[in-house]
Structure 1
């Protein structure tokens, strides 16, 4: 017993919904700033520009430094 699949007969194009820039911009800025802060901690949080004393942050992001190509030792 063969099953037949009904094929749609109407060829209405599917149009994706448009998102206004005003709805996307605040989120883009938020995630952009968040990524810059993360990049700072991964790439530069040690030495003269460190925000926190000690090597705690350095040890937490140590492998990420090497993955992204930042030298640290």
Structure 2
């Protein structure tokens, strides 16, 4: 799975970085930054439930999970 961040919808509240700290950190303005430097970070299988929760609770619906290579 890959985590897609819709940058036009994101307003930098940082909730996703709190719910998925293994995958995301935040920049000085609160916007999520993938820890692996990828545009769409890979979600390890053991973190899938956490990623689904982050996408579901995103206040601006800026996160989506995609099956990816």
Shorter-chain TM-score category? under 0.3
Q: Which has the higher contact order (CA 8 A, sep 6+)?
A: 2
Higher helix share: 1
Task: Give TM-score scaled by structure 2 length.
Answer: 0.26
Higher strand share: 2
Which has the higher Rg, Structure 1 or Structure 2? 1
Task: Give TM-score scaled by structure 1 length.
Answer: 0.25
